[in-house]
Amino acid sequence: MLYVDLPSPAEIGHLDLRRLDGFVSVYLPTTPLTEDIRQRRTRLKQLEDEAVSRQEASGLEKLRIWPLEEHFETVLEDDDF
């Protein structure tokens, strides 16, 4: 049996109500299958690039964006991800 932590509709709705500059929500399916890990990491990197691009396009200062990039990189480097 796999443990799956999916957000409830109420939790997703709550995230949708948040309106802060620099706020990013990412939903990414994960897998315990090692042969699929590369695909998941690639997708997360794509989502990071998209999030950073949107932050930059919104005019958010780079000093406010780099912690987001650092967080993504920490997750991408985590072999347990």
The model's pTM: 0.69
- Tokens 């072999």 belong to which residue? 79
pLDDT digits 0-9 by tens, 17-69:
766 677 787 877 777 777 777 888 889 899 999 999 999 998 989 988 988 89
Distance, CA of 21 to CA of 24 (rounded, Å):
9
Which letter does DSSP use for residue 6 in this model?
A: P
- Which pLDDT score, from 0 to 100, does residue 76 have? 87
User: How many Å is the Cα radius of gyration of the chain?
Assistant: 14
- Which pLDDT score, from 0 to 100, does residue 4 have? 64
- Which pLDDT score, from 0 to 100, does residue 47 have? 92
